[in-house]
Structures are given as structure tokens and as C-alpha cells.
């Protein structure tokens, strides 16, 4: 299979691409800086220079020529959750997805995998969240996720939408949490009782690799590990680092609870998370 990837230098694709190459797939990547991409990805990925937001339709179609599948992993969240990063990510999720789906439907591509998130659901407290739980359409992220997913669902391609939990593992936000715990700066917001669904980024990459090969398609799936209460996550993380547990943050609101079930992904993809959500020494 030849796979066209956007977001090839990001944290997910750096785990995914070696898996695809190891099983004999070929990878073509749309990258903004070929020199930087070559140094990150090595010699075995075909690079096409281009920006998803400015490349024209004909160029994009040409870039995908001969590819069987498209994977959209591009975000602009590397610099955090600033207003600019959210706007740029919204553009990648709406305009970028529209462009990719349009080009993919015209050429050799049959399959399309879209990265999405499992923390845009409405707050369900103690209840388990399956994929038919509504997206919270308040705020800045939920409406973009809902629109992006609708675009994919309307496509005639064989699609998967993979709603990832909060990423942990090397080069994710967990690094910041570790630094803050070591520095004694981390606090437990609100009661800490809320459920959080994490996923190791390499397990997420496994799910993308499985979705590319699956005999099924046209499914929205939670790609999440066993949920954990946030205060327990921070306490266990502190223990694994042999540092003091974080103190509460008095008066802070309790963040949204999302206790996501990965049963559908398990059943459809034969996928289960296999890495611990704790940093490995």
C-alpha cells in the first residue's frame, strides 16, 4: 500500500511511519520543509514540498498520484494551545480536510484516515462515553471537530475517524507535566475526580496502521487507554518519578470528565493499547 501522509514530522507520524515502512508500505509525505523532514524521517519516505493550506488542488492531486490511502495528522499544536495555534489548527481541520478529501476522491485513493480527539465530548461525569455521545459544540474546539468529522462522514471514500485520547509518551504534553511535577509546580485542578482518557502516542499510531489495513471502514472510533481519574494520574505519575504528589488548586473549577470506552476500536480493528501511560525510564 502507498500511503500519503500530511503531518509526517509530527509526534504521531514519527511513530507511524516506521511501522508502515517495516510492513512494506510506501510512504509519501506532504511537508513544508523537505530538509527538516528528511532529517527527521530518514531516506525511505518520498517527500513532496507543500503547505496543506496553500497548495492548489491540481498540485495536491498530483502529489497523491498512485497513493492508496491518505492520513491527515496535521495540527499546529506543537507550540501549545495559544489562540493562533487554535486558529491554525482549525484551518488545517476544516479547509485542510476539505482539500484532502476533494483531491483523494478524484485519484487513486480509496481510504482516508482522520485524526480527531476524544476530549471534545460533552461532560458525562461517571458515565462511560461511547462514540454516539454528542460532541460539545460550545467553545473553540468542539465546533471545529464536529464540522471536520461531518466533512469526512460525507465522503464516498473508505474512511475512519480516530478520536485519540490525550497523548502521553515522548514529545507529548506529558513532558511538561513531568517537568512541572519535578519542579513542585503542578496542581490538581478542582476535585481531581474527573475521568481522563489518555493514549500513548505509539498506541495511537498502531490504531492508524490497523485502520489502513482493516476490512471495515466508515467508522468513528475512540482510540483511548483505560480511563483514570485525573488526581490518580498525577499521583501515580509523581510516584513513578519519586517526587511529591501535587497539591490541590483551591477554587479552580473541575475540568470536564471523559471516561471513554475503546470497545468499538477493539472490536473493529482488533486493536488494544499495549504501552503504559507512564514514562518509561
Ligand X SMILES: NC(=O)c1ccc[n+]([C@@H]2O[C@H](COP(=O)([O-])OP(=O)(O)OC[C@H]3O[C@@H](n4cnc5c(N)ncnc54)[C@H](OP(=O)(O)O)[C@@H]3O)[C@@H](O)[C@H]2O)c1
Residues in contact with ligand X by the rule CB under 6 A: 6-12, 30-33, 51-53, 74-78, 92, 117, 164, 166-167, 172-173
Show Cβ contacts of residue 100 under 8 Å, excluding neighbours closer than 6 positions.
6, 52, 60, 70, 72, 112
- How far apart are alpha carbons 231 and 49 in whole angstroms? 44
Query: Shortest Cβ distance from residue 251 to ligand X (Å)?
Result: 26
Q: Which is nearer to ligand X, 245 or 275 (CB)?
A: 275
Query: Shortest Cβ distance from residue 76 to ligand X (Å)?
Result: 5
Show Cβ contacts of residue 154 under 8 Å, excluding neighbours closer than 6 positions.
none
Q: What are phi and psi of 94, to 5 degrees?
A: -100, -65
Query: Shortest Cβ distance from residue 86 to ligand X (Å)?
Result: 12
Residue environment code for 198-219, b if the CB has 16+ CB neighbours within 10 A, otherwise e: bbbbbbbbbbbbbbbebeeeeb
Show Cβ contacts of residue 114 under 8 Å, excluding neighbours closer than 6 positions.
72, 97, 148, 149, 152, 159, 160, 161, 162
Query: Shortest Cβ distance from residue 250 to ligand X (Å)?
Result: 27
Query: Shortest Cβ distance from residue 20 to ligand X (Å)?
Result: 15
Q: Which is nearer to ligand X, 37 or 109 (CB)?
A: 37
Q: Which is nearer to ligand X, 164 or 246 (CB)?
A: 164
Question: Do residues 218 and 158 touch, judged by C-beta distance below 8 A?
Answer: yes
Q: Which is nearer to ligand X, 133 or 245 (CB)?
A: 133
Q: What are phi and psi of 246, to 5 degrees?
A: -70, 150
Query: Shortest Cβ distance from residue 93 to ligand X (Å)?
Result: 11
Question: Do residues 149 and 114 touch, judged by C-beta distance below 8 A?
Answer: yes
Query: Shortest Cβ distance from residue 173 to ligand X (Å)?
Result: 5
Alpha carbon 9 to its chain's center: 13
- How far apart are alpha carbons 24 and 260 in whole angstroms? 33
Q: Which is nearer to ligand X, 32 or 187 (CB)?
A: 32
Q: Which is nearer to ligand X, 34 or 190 (CB)?
A: 34
- How far apart are alpha carbons 217 and 69 in whole angstroms? 12
Amino acid at each position: 500500500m502507498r500511503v500519503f501522509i500530511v503531518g509526517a514530522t509530527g509526534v504521531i507520524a514519527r511513530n507511524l511511519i516506521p511501522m508502515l515502512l517495516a510492513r512494506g508500505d510506501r510512504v509519501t509525505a506532504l511537508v513544508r520543509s523537505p530538509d527538516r523532514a528528511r532529517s527527521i524521517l530518514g531516506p525511505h519516505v518520498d517527500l513532496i514540498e507543500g503547505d496543506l493550506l496553500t497548495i492548489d488542488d491540481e498540485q495536491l492531486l498530483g502529489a497523491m498520484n498512485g497513493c492508496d490511502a491518505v492520513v491527515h495528522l496535521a495540527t499546529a499544536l506543537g507550540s501549545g494551545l495559544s489562540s493562533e495555534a487554535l486558529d491554525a489548527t482549525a484551518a488545517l481541520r476544516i479547509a485542510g480536510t476539505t482539500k484532502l478529501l476533494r483531491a483523494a476522491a478524484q485519484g487513486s485513493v480509496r481510504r482516508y484516515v482522520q485524526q480527531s480527539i476524544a476530549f471534545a465530548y460533552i461532560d458525562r461525569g461517571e458515565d462511560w462515553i461511547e462514540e454516539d455521545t454528542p460532541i460539545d459544540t460550545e467553545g473553540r474546539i468542539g465546533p471545529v471537530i464536529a464540522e471536520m468529522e461531518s466533512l469526512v462522514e460525507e465522503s464516498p471514500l473508505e474512511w475512519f475517524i480516530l478520536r485519540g485520547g490525550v497523548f502521553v509518551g515522548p514529545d507529548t504534553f506529558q513532558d511538561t507535566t513531568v517537568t512541572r511535577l519535578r519542579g513542585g509546580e503542578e496542581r490538581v485542578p478542582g476535585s481531581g475526580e474527573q475521568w481522563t482518557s489518555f493514549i500513548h502516542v505509539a498506541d495511537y499510531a498502531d490504531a492508524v496502521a490497523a485502520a489502513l489495513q482493516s476490512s471495515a471502514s466508515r467508522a468513528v472510533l475512540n482510540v483511548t487507554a483505560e480511563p483514570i481519574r485525573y488526581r490518580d494520574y498525577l499521583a501515580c505519575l509523581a510516584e513513578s518519578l519519586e517526587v511529591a504528589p501535587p497539591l490541590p488548586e483551591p477554587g479552580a473549577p473541575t475540568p470536564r470528565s471523559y471516561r471513554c470506552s475503546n470497545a468499538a476500536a477493539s472490536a473493529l480493528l482488533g486493536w488494544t493499547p499495549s504501552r503504559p501511560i507512564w514514562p518509561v525510564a
